[in-house]
Chains A and B, each alone.
Chain A
Amino acid sequence: MKNYPIWKSFTVISLVLLGIIFSIPSLVYDENSENWFLKNKINLGLDLQGGSYLLLEVQLDVLYDEELENFSDSIRLLARDNQTKINQINTQNNEVIVTFNNNNKIDEIKNSFFQMYRGISLQVSNNQLTIKLDDLYKKTIQDSAIKQSLEIVRKRIDESGTKEPLIQRSGKKRILLQLPGVKDPERIKELLGKTAKLTFHLVDDENIDALNANIEPFGKMIVSDIYDDKIKYLLDKRSLVGGENLVDAKGSFDQTEGHAVSFRFDTEGAQKFGKATSNNIGKRLAVLLDGVVITAPRINSAITGGSGIITGNFNAQEASDLAVLLRAGALPAPLEIVEERSVGAGLGADSIAAGKIAAFIGMMLVCIFMILIYGSFGAIANVSLIANIFIIISLLGTIGATLTLPGIAGIVLTIGMAVDANVLIFERIKEESLKNTKVFQIVKNGFDRAMSTILDANITTLIAAVLLFAFGSGPIRGFSITLSLGVIASMFTALMLTNFLLYLYLSITKKKELVL
C-alpha cells in the first residue's frame, strides 16, 4: 500500500488487536478465574450482579450530648473534691453553664477540668463556669468517632461472611458500604443497627423507694429490662467493666439456660471483674447491652478466671450475632441508614440480558443503515464501530472500571454516536470528490478538513461526561465512564482505523474515481 506509512499501519492494527485481545476476559467472564489474564475483566456494579449498597450516618449528636453529660459529671466530682457547692448546672446549645455558690475555688476547678479535657474552651465570669463544645472540639470527636466506626463496621461485616465488601468513609459523617452478592440485607442491617455497648453494673436492691418513685439518686440510674420494659432496675451508674476489655465472645449452649454467649476478658478486665465480684458476693450484677438489661444474675462467688457466660432468651442465631457484635466491639455512636439500594441477582441478570439485546440490535440497525446510506464506505465505518466496542470493553476491563446499568446505556448510546466522526469524514470526502479527481488526495483532504470539527464536537460531549463523573454517584458514574471511553475510542477508530481501511480499500480496488 503506497501513500500510507508502514509504522502507521502497524500502530493501527496492533491497537485494534490489543483491544480485541483484552476484551476476551470480559466477554468470557469467568467470575472465579484466578488466571492472570482472565482476571482483567469488567467489574459488574451492584445493580448488575446483585448486592446491597448502604449509606450510614454516624449519629454525632448523640456523642455530643454524651460528652456534655460527661462534662457535668466531671464538674460535680471536681466540686466535691474541692468542697464547693454547685448552685445549678444548665446544659443547652452545646454548652454547660455551671453556677457555683461562690467563686473561691473556681480557678482550681477550671484548671483541673482543663487537665481532663485538653483543648476544651472554658470561660469564667464571677461564679459561673461555661464549658463550650466548640467546632474544633467537635471535630476531634467526629474524626475519632468515624475512624472507630469504620473499623468496627469492617469487623462486623467481615464476621458476617460477606465477600469483598467495600467499606469507606463518605463525606464528613457517613460510611458507605457496598456488599456484592448479599442476599439478605436485613441481617446486615440488623448487625449494623446495634451499638453493642456492653457494660456490667451492680444492682441496688436496697433503695426500693427511689426505684418506685422513679427518681435517680446521684450516681445511680434506672434502666429497663430488654424483654419487658415495665421491669426496672436501679443500678450504679459507674460500670464495673465494659466490652472494651473483652478479648473473645462465642455463641455457646448452656445445659440449663439454653443458648448463651460465652466471653473472656483481657488481664485488666479479668482483674476488675474478679475484684468487683469478690467484693459484692450476694448482690446482683446487671449485664447491659445498649442501655437495657439483658440479664441480672446474683453473684454467688468471686469470678476470677476472667471468663463467663451471658444468658438470656436467645435463639442460636441471636446468640451468635451477639457474639459477633461483642467481638467486633461497640460503635462509638449509633449508625442510621440514610440510603439503601439492594438489587437481587435476578433483576441484575435480567438487566444484563436486556442490555446485551439492546446493544446487539442497536448495533445491527446502525450497521444496516450505514451500508444502506454509504455502501462500501458504510461497511468500512461498521468495521470501525465494531472495533470501537471491543476497545471500550477492553479499556473497561483493564482499568478495572465498574459496569452499571446506565453504563450499558452509555455503550448503546455510543454505538449510535460513534459513527458520527465517520459520517463527518464521509461528508467531507463527498464534497471534496466534487472538486478533486485524485482519489487519495480526496480522502486525505476529507480527513484533514473533518479533523477540527470532530475534535470540537467530541470535546463538548467529554465535558458533559466528566462533570457527570464529578457530581454523579454510583451507577451514574458508570454511565459517564462508558460514555467518555466511547467518545475517546470513537475518535481513535474514525481518525486512525477508518483512515487506514479507506486507504487499504482504495489500494486493493484500484479505484480511479470516488463516487460516494
Chain B
Amino acid sequence: MFGLNKIIPVEPNINFLRLRRNFLIISSIAIIASIVLLFFKGLNLGIDFKGGTLIEVSTKNTSIGELRDILSVSFNDVSLQEFGNENIILIRLQNKNNQESIETINNVKDIIQDKVVEFRRSEFVGPTISSELLYRGFQAVSFALIAILIYIWLRFEWQFGFGAVVALTHDVIFTLGLLSILNVEFSLATIAAILTIAGYSINDTVVIFDRVRENLRKYKKLELVDLFNLSVNNTLSRTVMTSLTTLLALFSLFIFGGEVIRPFALTMIIGVIIGTYSSVFIAVPTLLIFKFRPQDDDD
C-alpha cells in the first residue's frame, strides 16, 4: 500500500533559484531564436490557414510514385505524401479560385478512380475562408491570454499576473518556435493545442503562486529567494506528478490516436514540457524583480 512517492521526499530542498540567471539566459536565447525562426522560416501552415485542396485516399498495389506520375500530367502543383502507412496517400493541391478548386477535386477523383480503394476525405478551403480562420485563431489566442491575465490579476496581486503572463508568452512563443523547427503542420487543431497549453501552463504557475502567497503570509522573516525556493519545493511533487500523468495520456494519443490527431498531440507534448519548465524556472524568478513583499502590511 505504500507508494513510490517516497522517492520524492516530502520536503525536498532543491535550490531551483540558484541557477535562475542561466535559465533566464537559455530561455531568452530560445525566445529570440523562436522569433527569428517564425519570422524567416515561418510555420508549416496547413490547409486551414493556407487554403487549398487536400484529398486522402487509400490504395492497393499502387505506389506513391505511380500516382504522382499519373496526377502530375494534369496538375503541375500537386504534391503527394504517405500518411501513416504506405497504402494511405495524401494529395495536396495549391489554392485556386473557389470554382476551379471544386472542379479540381472532381478531376483528381476521376483520374485516379481505378487506382483507389477508398476516398477517405477531401477538403477544400477557399482563400477568403483560410484568412478568416487565421484571423479568428489569432483572436482566440489573444483574447485567451488577456482573459487569463485578468483572472490572475483579480485573484492575485498584479506582480503575480506579470510573472504568469511572462511565463505564458514564453511558452506560446517557444512552442511555436519548436513547431517551426520540427515542421509540424499548423492547423486549427494546433491553435486548440496552443490555447490548451496556455491554460495548462497557467494552471501550473497558479499552483506554485498560490503556495508563494501562502508562504508570504506564513514566513514573514524569510528571504524572498528562500521563500520562493521553499514554495517551488512544496509543490514540486504535484508539478512533476501532473505533468507526468498528462504526458502519459498525450503519448498514448500521439502513438495510438491516429495520423490526423498526431500534430495536435505532439504540440501538446511540447507545450506541457515547456509549460512545466517555465512555471518553475521562469514564472517564479520573474517575481524576484519585485523587491517588496506583497501583503506585507496585512494583519
Interface string of B3-29 (1 = CB under 8 A from A): 111000010000000000000000000
Interchain CB contact (< 8 A) of B241 among A408, A423, A457, A463: A423
Check if B140 sits within 8 Å of A471, measured CB to CB.
yes
Check if A423 sits within 8 Å of B242, measured CB to CB.
yes
Check if A472 sits within 8 Å of B241, measured CB to CB.
no
B151, CB-defined interface residue at 8 Å: yes
Residues on B with beta carbons closer than 8 Å to the beta carbon of A186 = 105-106, 109
Residues on A with beta carbons closer than 8 Å to the beta carbon of B245 = 366, 369-370, 416-417, 419-420, 423
Interchain CA distance A67-B11 in the complex, whole Å: 79
Which residues B152-203 have CB closer than 8 A to chain A?
A: 152, 155, 188-189, 191-192, 195-196, 198-200, 202-203
B125, CB-defined interface residue at 8 Å: yes
Which residues B78-114 have CB closer than 8 A to chain A?
A: 98-99, 102, 105-106, 109
Interchain CB contact (< 8 A) of B264 among A350, A366, A409, A515: A409
Q: How far is the CB of A170 from chain B (nearest CB, A)?
A: 11
Check if A351 sits within 8 Å of B258, measured CB to CB.
yes
Check if A456 sits within 8 Å of B206, measured CB to CB.
yes
Check if A472 sits within 8 Å of B249, measured CB to CB.
no
Interchain CB contact (< 8 A) of B105 among A340, A361, A471: A340
Q: Give the nearest-CB partner of A466 in chain B.
A: B147
A343, CB-defined interface residue at 8 Å: yes
A105, CB-defined interface residue at 8 Å: no
Known: A339-B129, A340-B123, A346-B118. A412 touches B257 (CB 8 A): yes
Q: How many residues of A contact B (CB 8 A)?
A: 81
Interface string of A268-284 (1 = CB under 8 A from B): 00000000000000000
Which residues B43-57 have CB closer than 8 A to chain A?
A: 56
Interchain CA distance A148-B212 in the complex, whole Å: 62
Interchain CB contact (< 8 A) of A457 among B10, B58, B203, B265: B203
Check if B102 sits within 8 Å of A365, measured CB to CB.
no
Check if B192 sits within 8 Å of A480, measured CB to CB.
yes
Interchain CA distance A64-B153 in the complex, whole Å: 51
Known: A417-B200, A417-B242. A468 touches B192 (CB 8 A): yes
Interface string of B236-277 (1 = CB under 8 A from A): 011001101111111111011110110011001000000000
Check if B249 sits within 8 Å of A338, measured CB to CB.
no
Interchain CB contact (< 8 A) of B3 among A347, A363, A373, A419: A373
B292, CB-defined interface residue at 8 Å: no
Residues on A with beta carbons closer than 8 Å to the beta carbon of B119 = 344
Check if A424 sits within 8 Å of B252, measured CB to CB.
no
Which of A68-76, A220-228, A241-249, A427-435 forms part of the interface with chain B? A427-435
Which of A112-120, A135-143, A199-207, A375-383 forms part of the interface with chain B? A375-383
Check if A336 sits within 8 Å of B3, measured CB to CB.
no
Known: A460-B151, A472-B188. A377 touches B260 (CB 8 A): no
**With contacts A346-B120, A420-B245, A453-B207 known, what are 8 further pairs, Cβ within 8 A?**
A336-B99, A340-B105, A346-B58, A347-B56, A358-B261, A406-B192, A456-B155, A468-B140
Q: Can you list 29 residue pairs at the A/B interface with Cβ under 8 Å?
A: A336-B98, A340-B102, A341-B121, A358-B258, A366-B248, A370-B245, A375-B1, A375-B2, A409-B189, A416-B246, A417-B249, A419-B242, A420-B238, A420-B242, A423-B238, A423-B242, A427-B235, A427-B241, A430-B237, A453-B207, A457-B207, A461-B203, A463-B147, A464-B195, A467-B144, A467-B195, A471-B136, A476-B191, A479-B192
Using CB atoms and an 8 Å cutoff, list the residues of chain B in contact with chain A: 1-5, 10, 56, 58, 98-99, 102, 105-106, 109, 118-126, 128-129, 133, 136-137, 139-140, 143-144, 147-148, 151-152, 155, 188-189, 191-192, 195-196, 198-200, 202-204, 206-207, 210-211, 234-235, 237-238, 241-242, 244-253, 255-258, 260-261, 264-265, 268
